[in-house]
Amino acid sequence: MNKDTGWMIASGVVGFLFFLIANFTNFFAGASVLAGCLQLCVNAFVFVVWARAFMRSHGFKKFVAFFGVIVPVGMAGVTLWRILIPAITASFV
């Protein structure tokens, strides 16, 4: 296992866990906006790690890394839609 693979595994697991915590648990009760912001920061890191691995890989590894670049963008969109946009619009009402 090379260095990129280790970073990809670690960042992917942490990014997915923060996504689950921010969107589907009450772990941060009353602080969902903070959890959402943390999740966006973690997924930005995941995006950078997987994009770097995408650029360095070839063949099937490049195919797998492509989905590692796309998935954090989708998870960030879900967090924006479910947590941050409602919190921002609620503060103006």
- pTM for this one? 0.82
Res 17: pLDDT: 87
* Structural domain range at position 87: 3-92
Paired tokens of 25 = 């648990």
The C-alpha atoms of residue 7 and residue 32 are separated, in whole angstroms, by 27
| pLDDT tens, residue by residue, 35-90 | 888 889 999 999 999 999 999 989 998 998 998 899 999 999 998 998 889 888 88
CB neighbour class for 81 (10 Å; exposed up to 12, middle 13-18, buried from 19): exposed
Q: What integer pLDDT is reported at residue 44 of this predicted model?
A: 92
Give residue-wise pLDDT tens across range 12-39. Answer: 899 888 888 887 877 666 677 888 888 8
- How many domains is the chain built from? 1
